[in-house]
Chains A and B, each alone.
Chain A
Amino acid sequence: MSTSSATIDTPARPAPTPPRQLLPNGVMGMAIFIFTEVMLFAGLVSAHEIVRSQSIGEMWPPYGQPRLSLGETAINTAALLLSGFVLYLANRIFKQDKAKAVAPTLVALLLGIFFVGAQGAEWVALLGDGLTMTSSTYGAFFYTIVGTHGLHALSAILALGWAWSRLRTGKLTATEFTTVQVFWYFVVLVWPFLYLQVYL
């Protein structure tokens, strides 16, 4: 190539090597999915913010609607954040010794289940106080946003349960574990924003 002088100068290229992988396939796929999820919640939250800013007399919650239980949900929030931290620790242990990661993963899973259960109990109480999907846009947004997150939390619990059962039998690969963790961390980390947005 470089021998002929009056032609396009093509620099010599090194021998072909496979492309460098930034992330393993599963983790990258999940990360892209998370971007979409972030935009989904951004859409819900901005819709909530717009309707809230147009509420009559800036009264939010609207007249006759119950206030949300800030305190009880703070405990749920703490449990969820803790589950994320425990799962992070489980991952560190997993890298040293796969068998020892079974117990902390189960703890994270149970904390997640506690969160969804406690949220469910809170919904039952709120329904009793007269906050429903149709009682006001306040209620509609509350159930839509928190419910969307709840569905994500349930999916994350199913995924982590699957990972945990494979971890017990020693079949779980590092990529699979990381993929599930990415989704779990998303569910954990998006919650404080929703909590501040909807409850305060």
Chain B
Amino acid sequence: MSHAVTADSHGHAHDAHDHGPQGILKYIWSTDHKIIAMQYMFTGMIMALIGGFMAYVFRMQLAFPGQSVPGFGVVSPGEYNSLVTNHGSIMIFWVAMPVLIAAFGNYLIPLMTGADDMVFPRINRLSYQIFLISAILIIASLFVSGGGFGGAWTAYPPLSSMSEYSLTKLGSSMWLLAVALEFVAFLLGGINFIVTLMNARAPGMKAYDIPIVCWMIVIASILFMLSVGPLIAGAVMLLFDQMIGTGFFDPTRGGDPVLWQHLFWFFGHPEVYVVLLPAIGIVIEIIATFARKQLFGYKIILYTAIVTGILSFFVWAHHQFIAGIDPRMANVFTVTTLLISVPIAEMMFVTVATLYGGSIRFTTPMLWALAFVAEFLIGGVTGIFLGASGSDIYLHDTYFVLAHFHYTFFPIAIIGTFAGFTYWFPKMFGKMMNETLGKIHFWGTIISFNFIFIPLFFLGIGGQHRRIYNYENFPDLIAGQPLRVVATVAMLAMLAFQVVFFINLFSSLKSGKKAGNNPWKANTLEWTTTSPPPHGNWPQDEMPKVYRGPYEYSHPDRDEDYWPQNLPS
């Protein structure tokens, strides 16, 4: 499908780096940022299907325990644990990260800042190749003897460190190695994003002329860079515990299991913002374009993103309120956690303020963007109860937590991605997507999403613990079974609606309406080149120059309601 991009690039002379191998190898070994972005995008989509299938299997087990699941068979407790664990790991590390940061970052940063490619194209390619190996490794870990790792995506020791407990000696180590490799891939990608944004911008593009989504991806990359080190340290220690038997996290030998939790969550919480910020960036681009109005508070968004980033390093222990940490520490982390909702709320208000008084166009990407604001709000508000240590002690490890973070991660990883994908699809492939199918897909997904997770809030408040394989064994909890069935049926509906998306995707690729350079009448630089852009993004003598900010919509001095950044007047 992305061959269209490759084939098109043959026609344009861009001799700076066009000497690679030909044919299919040219695609695999390409250093073009757009092709690498597509590789990340479609790998992420395939991994999303795998992760979605896992969710289907274990939700069927929860709704109809012990019965054979069509397409899988009877789920054993070990398989259940492994499915839940790998669903979480895959959706965060192999779907949200590669699509939101790597795919959109790779595609958008050079195009939106007027660069011909990333500054380190070969490192970029290496980044994808390492990522692909990590993806293959995590899938392979499900099929080794003993099965895939089943100790939850947080991998708390001693369950993760001692194979006597986990019973997945190979699976645990492969899971850990895959995660570590994936981090290396994003490390390389992140260096590229930051340096490209700092050094390779178009002439005239000042700091406040950079589109918000580029800032967001770069701030997210910086957060990732600064937070991942301790987790890699922890991963090495955990790997030694698993393979050599060092006892870093084994209290009987002088180690400390809570130490892992600190190392993990020191990364794990900034990680939430690593994926959230790019999604908010995408949403802000779309809302400004389709509200046909200048973005409200460009600098506010940028500064709040930076403040969010800084605060995100001081909230991690709110995941550990019941891990036996000092209550005084719990107080501190409660305060920082409640504080971090302030800058995020500010960003939400900015989107609403941008909509106010605009002439809103309800295209499919705009619907996704608005849904992001609405659904993420529910995720954010329910987070308050978990950030406050008092209520968290009751709600910890219940389905309330699960519903809360799905209300944050689903808007980020799925709604944000669909928003961005449908918005930039015309640029990526030169074709328009079908709006009717897009809207059917949108409403089907959003409605069924709420039917999955709202019941889980009630189950969680009712005290339903997470990580239980079969609730029939718990007489106190079996009363919630009808709600579990509702959630599972809604999930089946949501999966069915994804078929609409793929029909739309393939039919639009094949016979969609020609898009033209700027179908949405947007201002940013990527819309000034052809769709899809040639290798090198612009012909070499027509590299864009920038004369104004990216959100000059409905400027009173102009007849047209948009004012591209590259026009001198």
Which A residues form the contact surface with B (CB < 8 A)?
A: 1, 4, 6-8, 10, 13, 15-19, 21-25, 28-29, 32-33, 35-44, 46-47, 50-51, 54-56, 62, 133-134, 136-137, 140-141, 144, 148
Q: Which residues B225-249 have CB closer than 8 A to chain A?
A: 225-234, 236-237, 240, 244-248
Q: Is the CB of B229 within 8 A of A39?
A: yes
Q: A19-B205, A28-B199, A137-B247 are in contact. Are A35 and B120 (CB under 8 A)?
A: no
A134 close to B245 (CB less than 8 A): yes
Question: Chain B 195-237 against A: per-residue CB contact (8 Å), 1 yes, 0 no?
Answer: 1001111111110000000000000000001111111111011
Chain A nearest Cβ from B157, distance in angstroms: 13
Residue pairs across A and B with Cβ atoms less than 8 A apart, 7 shown, are A17-B203, A28-B199, A36-B228, A39-B230, A51-B259, A134-B246, A136-B254
B377 within 8 A of A: no
Q: Judging by beta carbons under 8 Å apart, are B205 and A137 in contact?
A: no
A43 touches B195 (CB 8 A): no
Pair B259/A50 contact, Cβ less than 8 Å: yes
B263 at the interface (CB under 8 A from A): yes
Q: How far is the CB of A6 from chain B (nearest CB, A)?
A: 8
Contacting residue for A137 out of B199, B233, B255, B548, CB 8 A: B255
B547 and A134 contacting across the interface, CB-CB below 8 Å: no
Most buried by A among B201, B206, B247, B266: B247
**Chain A residues with CB below 8 A from B202, complex form:** 16
Taking CB atoms, residues of chain A closer than 8 Å to B190 are 32
Pairwise interchain contact A40-B246, C-beta atoms closer than 8 A: no
Q: Which residue of A lies closest to B294 (CB)?
A: A8
Does chain A have a CB within 8 A of B191? yes
Q: Which residues does chain B contribute within 8 Å of A50, judged by CB atoms?
A: 256, 259, 262
With A8-B556, A47-B237, A140-B240 in contact, do A56 and B247 touch (Cβ < 8 Å)? no
Report the separation of the CA atoms of residues A136 and B246 in the bound assembly, to the nearest whole angstrom.
7
- The answer, yes or no, to whether B473 is at the interface (CB within 8 Å) is no
Task: Let me know if B229 and A40 touch, CB within 8 A.
Answer: yes
Contact A18 B203 (CB under 8 A): yes
Further contacts, 4 of them, CB under 8 A, given A54-B254, A137-B254? A33-B187, A36-B226, A47-B248, A134-B247
| Number of interchain pairs (Cβ within 8 Å) | 142
Neighbouring A residues of B263 by C-beta, 8 Å:
43, 47
- Interface flag for B406 (CB, 8 Å): no
A28 and B247 contacting across the interface, CB-CB below 8 Å: no
B contact residues around A44 at 8 Å (CB): 233, 237
Q: Are the CB atoms of A133 and B246 closer together than 8 Å?
A: yes
What residues on A are CB-neighbors of B557 within 8 Å? 1, 4, 7-8, 10
Q: Give Cα distance in the complex from A16 to B545, angstroms.
A: 6
> Nearest-CB distance from B176 to chain A (Å)?
15
Q: Are B230 and A42 in contact (CB under 8 A)?
A: yes
- Out of A35, A42, A55, which one reaches B225, CB within 8 Å? A35
Q: How far is B546's CA from A19's CA once the two chains are assembled, in angstroms?
A: 11
Min C-beta distance of B232 to chain A, whole Å:
6
Nearest-neighbour CB distance to chain A for B533, whole angstroms, equals 20
> B226, B254, B255, B256: which contacts A35 (Cβ < 8 A)?
B226
Contact B232–A40 (Cβ < 8 Å): yes
**In the bound complex, do residue B254 and residue A62 qualify as a contact, i.e. CB atoms below 8 Å apart?**
yes
Which chain A positions have C-beta within 8 A of B195?
A: 25, 28-29, 32
Interface string of B515-555 (1 = CB under 8 A from A): 00000000000000000000000000000011110000001
User: What are the interface flags for B254-278 relative to A under an 8 Å C-beta threshold, 1 for contact and 0 otherwise?
Assistant: 1110010011001000000000000
Q: Decide: A40 near B230, CB < 8 A? Known: A17-B204, A29-B120, A144-B240.
A: yes
Assembly CA distance A21 to B203 (angstroms):
12
Q: Does B194 lie at the interface of the complex (its beta carbon under 8 Å from any beta carbon of A)?
A: yes
Bound state CA distance, A8 and B553, in angstroms?
12
The distance in angstroms between the C-alpha atoms of A40 and B546, with both chains bound, is: 39
The reply on B283 being an interface residue by CB < 8 A is no
- B197's nearest neighbour on chain A, judged by CB, is A19
A23 and B198 alpha carbons, distance in the complex (Å): 9
- Cross-chain contact of A19 among B187, B199, B237 (Cβ < 8 A): B199
Nearest chain-B residue to A27 (Cβ)?
B195
Contact B225 A43 (CB under 8 A): no
B119 within 8 A of A: yes
A8-B556, A137-B248, A137-B255 are contacts. A36–B225 as well, Cβ < 8 Å? yes
